Chain A
Amino acid sequence: MFEVPSVADLNVAASLPVTLLALGACVFLLVDLFIPQDRKYITAGLAAGGMLVALVLALLMWGDVIELRDGDTAFSELFIADTMTHVVNIVVLITGLLGVLVAYNYLERTKIQRGEYYYLILFTTTGVMLMGGANDLAVVFVALELLSIPLYILSGFRWPQEESEESAMKYFLLGAFASSFLVYGIALIYGATGTTSLPGIWEAVNDIVAEDAASKYLLLLGSGLALVGLGFKVAAVPFHMWTPDVYQGAPTSVVAYMSVAAKVGGFAALIRVLVAGMPNFVLDGETVAAWQDTVWLVAALTMLLGNIVAIAQTELKRLLAYSSIAHAGYILIAVAAAGTASVADEAVRAVMIYLMAYAFTNVGAFAVVIALEKDDATNTGLDSVRGLARTNPLLAAAMTVFMLSLTGIPLTSGFVGKWFVFKAALSADLVPVAVIGVVTSLVSAFYYLRVVWLMYFEDGESEASTPWPLASAIGISVAGTLLLGFVPYLLSEMTNDITLAFGG
């Protein structure tokens, strides 16, 4: 029954960036043992170098410079290397690189410098990349665990400190719970369709819909449970409870990285499972996918709760946590829009564009928090930015750019993301959720602008330390945010031929 495929048939080349990074992470794990404690910059450098190589590979594959001779699937069709895979790779690798840059000095001065940090980041990154290319529900699950488990550890990285331990514990318990939802969902989907392969599911769903078989209820339940599990990863309401506590307790450099990486992974999974696997799951008398209503309802709740609760926050990290919940809501709008067949490509592209835009901005915003944070992990309140414009004008200017981008003001990447998301929503006739989206954007303007006004309009003794890796990470983030804002062409070009349809 089990046929062992030869290595030549595996078409490893298609998965080159992720395979290479996985191997690299394993090798660095060993190498780190021989690196003395006072020279951990070597580990950091190795990790960054590994990701840089993977990034270059991903870019080359995206640009078709590396041609795949044996098609774009690898490992007996478990893995697929299409445009979305490449884009996910590019986004998460950039995030990972920025994550290493912001981390090194922070770990050093808060005395938690350990080599594990860097390869845990590599493993998470590998998990996200694997998720981007998942072509089978089994891979989705493995990738999800690969990206989650290192993040649980990283959250507790400052372990004698209670907040950090609490953060890791909460994240782990709830995360494990969510994973079990996903597994159960996968099991039910398998029960309904008889396969875990996404193309196989797509075909099976076609039959189920055509025959109106009773297994559609099983499928409905399965996809719903999968949505719960993945909704947890992207911090969608009502599965968001962990987010503020984890973000507040975890070391800030971890948060900077995971707030983007986990989201990229979660949304890649949602797209693979829902949009690639069962866009054709249309119930009787409907014209759109069965999961669309649920997803947009979740999107609306997420935007409303995230933005409204964020207003009341006085802690910068918690504020950004709620803001990241809110942004999950905006991206979910596009996922919902993908449930309308004619809009699917446009919507998937909107998700990718939003994630790319969000990556630079959000890592940048957390990087500013890192610069402000004291060595004992205090001074992350809103007050910490008071009067920053006078004491450190460049940092204040950078934070302003990030806040404007998160608000969605034009000429920043955040606006481009929202533009594409709302456009997809209107194309799919999801007017109510688009209206909720713009109204909550307005709400968000208040708390983002409050950060700006504390920096510019009020006086205070704000202090910040910006060693060069952190400064360059912030610089790259600002440049990315503005560049993508002024030249959205880059984003639209990058995602130009994203298409997921099987058989269609």
Chain B
Amino acid sequence: MGDISLVSLVFILPLLGVLALIFEPLFERQTNEQAIRWLTLGVSLGTFGLSLLMLNNFDTGVAGLQMEHKIDWIEADGFTIRYYVGVDGISVWMVMLTTFIMPLAILASFGPIQERVRLYYIFLLLMEWAMIGVFIAQDLFLFYVFWEVTLVPMYFLIGIWGAEERIYAAIKFFLYTMAGSLLMLLAVLWLGNEAGTFTLPEIIEQIQTGELSLGTTTERWLFLAFAIAFAIKVPMWPLHSWLPDAHVQAPTAGSVILAGILLKMGTYGFVRFNLPLFPEASKTFAPYIAGLAVIGIIYGAWVSYGQKDVKKLVAYSSISHLGFVMLGIFALNSTGIQGGILQGVNHGISTGGLFLMVGMLYDRRHTKLMAAFGGIWKAMPLFSGISLVIVLSSMGLPGLNGFVGEFTILLGSAGSEILSWWFTAFAALGIIMAAIYMLYMFNTVFMGELDKEENRNLPDLNWQELWSLIPIVVMVFVIGLQASIFFDLMDESAEALAAPYVANPNAEALVELNTGDVELAVALWAISGAVIGVVVTPIIYSGRGRNPWSGGLVGAAAGAAGNLLLLVPLWVYTPALEVDEHALPATSEAPGD
């Protein structure tokens, strides 16, 4: 494995970009800011190109690591710490997400960032480098290094280019997330000492073969140390309080990176470390974590609805969406994990898009308050059209990306051997609530009369803004309509991850679905939609000076109808499952397809 691999190339390119930017003053007498912008964009596009090449080289039939690259780094006290990188079906999508979002974030910064330009792009590329490092590292030391390093550029991005409360937000972000990772540091050291190595695949193998047995108590402690670090990053309720500050105060690109990629480091960490390293503890804690995830889903959605500031609304919606991801992962079956990973990507794309959208509004009006807008569609039709697609994608409209992820997660959690159907039922509520707050936001900002004088002459998108949104819209449809390309790549890896948790590893987890449970969940889903419609819509209506009762009826009808619509795919899927069950190798003669 001594040869340099594509993964390493993807990883190194942003660092070369950083060095180029650092030494740029040596080559130019006078700082050329435009050149810096294009250089950065070029580097990030080059990285994206290389990562596409990496995707192209990916072998879907392999569960383990591919394109590995291993160099001994430190040798001490009988331990070898390695630069060891590689991707499997899960990390490959995280890397792709990173390299996809970064050029958009950079392009969207062309206009708004006019101060300390070189420093800004240095930090952006440093950020990209460190995040790719997190997703490809296969050595605990290496992983921890990048995990911590991501804090530094983000601290500066928030602190220098952020909004009014930026210093508070930056320091809170740094200390909060560092608090979690320091506990992880001890867990990493402990695990390394026990296993005699810091190389992740070796430790996992030791655990799977039973060579390394941690004992129940130790395993639980280590699980918690890792889990708290990751849960803060995700962030899971109740460890989320850094998120609204950081997201709201960060500059647009910072919010996009935070929501789009940084949070996925947390969910990725759960998948990469907690599941394979601590199988018993994962099983023990799964219901609790899933419970927190569901609370997060409801809480995030609830609080989102109460916001007056668009950016805060989007920030809190992240808590809700990430709750879905966590629920999927801790369904502890292949379906849930795949749904979780895909939903992570989806959230990166659609929430990234939402933050870009908020940024564009802010650049024009220098306010993020919803009350300052209204009727924007009439002033900026192109922008509003694209925004509608992104908003719909974020609330999980069938046919768009959000739906595929959330639906797969719900299927996974409904079929989970560990979670009861209550989790699924309450999580489903979150989808409805997402529709409420998202549409409420869209309604307030874009629809209605163009009644504010300042909004009348807002310019529509310029080319940088347009091109930073178009790839997002494209991906929204690609994932929504053709998700199988994504699932194909992660299938093997997710199966391997779920294997220790599924009683009958040959059977799809879905088959275990109890039809009675499903019907109950579905009924609950539809009723809850109607209830929320009845309760919430009048509040909205009365708040806006309309007759609340008519609103209640409309809302109830809309809620129930929307939910029934969501049932259609479930019915479409269910017969297929039943067929699957018969096709399964119940006896020894397995039909191989």
Contacts and interface: CB of A to CB of B under 8 A. Distances in A.
A457 B167 contact: yes
A4 B593 CA distance: 92
Interface in A198-215: none
The A interface is mostly helix, strand or loop, or mixed, namely: helix
A449 interface: yes
Interface string B58-83: 00000000000000011111000100
Contacts of A404: 152
A492 B75 CA distance: 7
B193 A449 contact: no
Contacts of B192: 423
B155 to A, nearest CB: 7
B217 to A, nearest CB: 13
Contacts of A450: 171
Given A445-B174, A457-B159, A426 B166 contact: no
B178 interface: yes
B170 A453 contact: yes
Interface in A88-135: none
A360 interface: no
A373 interface: no
A446 interface: yes
B169 to A, nearest CB: 11
Contacts of B19: none
Nearest to A353: B76
Interface stretch (A35-43, A69-77, A432-440): A432-440
Given A404-B152, A438-B182, A456-B156, A445 B74 contact: no
A427 interface: yes
A453 B160 CA distance: 9
Nearest to B155: A449
Contacts of A419: 141, 185, 189
B151 interface: yes
Contact of A489 (B74, B146, B160, B178): B74
Given A411-B149, A453-B167, A492 B74 contact: yes
Nearest to A423: B189
Residue picked from B141, B159, B189, most chain A C-beta under 10 Å:
B189
B178 A435 contact: no
A123 B160 CA distance: 46
A267 interface: no
B186 A349 contact: no
Contacts of A173: none
A165 interface: no
A409 interface: yes
A496 B144 CA distance: 23
Interface string B168-208: 00110011001100110110011011000000000000000
A420 B79 CA distance: 12
Residue picked from B145, B160, B183, most chain A C-beta under 10 Å:
B145
B38 to A, nearest CB: 22
Interface string B434-467: 0000000000000000000000000000000000
Contacts of B148: 409-410, 415
A443 B403 CA distance: 43
B133 to A, nearest CB: 10
B120 to A, nearest CB: 12
A329 interface: no
Contact of A409 (B141, B152, B159): B152
A291 B171 CA distance: 39
Contacts of A489: 73-75
Contacts of B151: 409
A124 B77 CA distance: 33
A393 B183 CA distance: 34
A282 B155 CA distance: 48
Interface string A467-504: 00000000000000000000011001101100000000
B171 A453 contact: yes
Given A456-B159, A457-B160, A492-B76, A438 B193 contact: no
B74 A442 contact: no
Interface string A394-434: 00000000001000011100010001101100110001001
Contact of B185 (A431, A438, A452, A488): A438
Contact of B149 (A410, A431, A439, A449): A410
A431 B183 CA distance: 12
Interface string B113-135: 00000010000000000000000
A415 B152 CA distance: 14
A324 interface: no
A422 B189 contact: yes
Contacts of A434: 186, 189
A467 B179 CA distance: 40
Contacts of A458: 167
Contacts of B146: 410
A441 interface: yes
B185 A422 contact: yes
Contacts of A492: 74-76
A420 B141 CA distance: 12
Residue picked from B76, B141, B178, most chain A C-beta under 10 Å:
B76
A352 B171 CA distance: 32
A449 B174 contact: yes
Contacts of B171: 446, 449-450, 453
A423 B73 CA distance: 17
B77 A426 contact: no
Interface string A47-86: 0000000000000000000000000000000000000000
Nearest to B158: A457
Contacts of B175: 442, 445-446, 449
B572 to A, nearest CB: 49
B176 to A, nearest CB: 10
Interface in B64-118: 73-77, 81
A349 B76 CA distance: 9
Nearest to A443: B175
Contact of B182 (A439, A446, A456): A439
Contacts of B144: 410
A466 B103 CA distance: 39
B193 A426 contact: yes
A352 B189 CA distance: 19
A416 to B, nearest CB: 8
A393 B175 CA distance: 25
A411 B145 contact: yes
Interface in A174-211: none
A136 interface: no
Contacts of A439: 182
A488 B139 CA distance: 15
A456 B160 contact: yes
B183 A438 contact: yes
A446 B152 CA distance: 13
Nearest to A456: B160
Nearest to B192: A423
A32 interface: no
Given A410-B149, A456-B156, A426 B76 contact: no
A447 to B, nearest CB: 11
Interface string A314-357: 00000000000000000000000000000001100100000000
Contacts of A410: 144-146, 148-149
B189 A488 contact: no
23 contacts: A346-B77, A349-B76, A404-B152, A409-B148, A415-B145, A415-B148, A423-B193, A426-B189, A426-B193, A431-B186, A441-B182, A442-B175, A446-B171, A449-B155, A449-B171, A452-B155, A453-B167, A456-B160, A457-B166, A488-B73, A493-B75, A495-B76, A496-B76
The 7 closest A-B pairs by CB, nearest first: A410-B145, A438-B182, A492-B76, A457-B159, A410-B148, A346-B77, A488-B74
Interface of B: 73-77, 81, 119, 141, 144-146, 148-149, 151-152, 155-156, 159-160, 166-167, 170-171, 174-175, 178-179, 182-183, 185-186, 189-190, 192-193
Given A438-B185, A450-B171, A453-B159, 7 more contacts: A410-B146, A419-B141, A422-B186, A445-B175, A456-B156, A457-B160, A457-B170
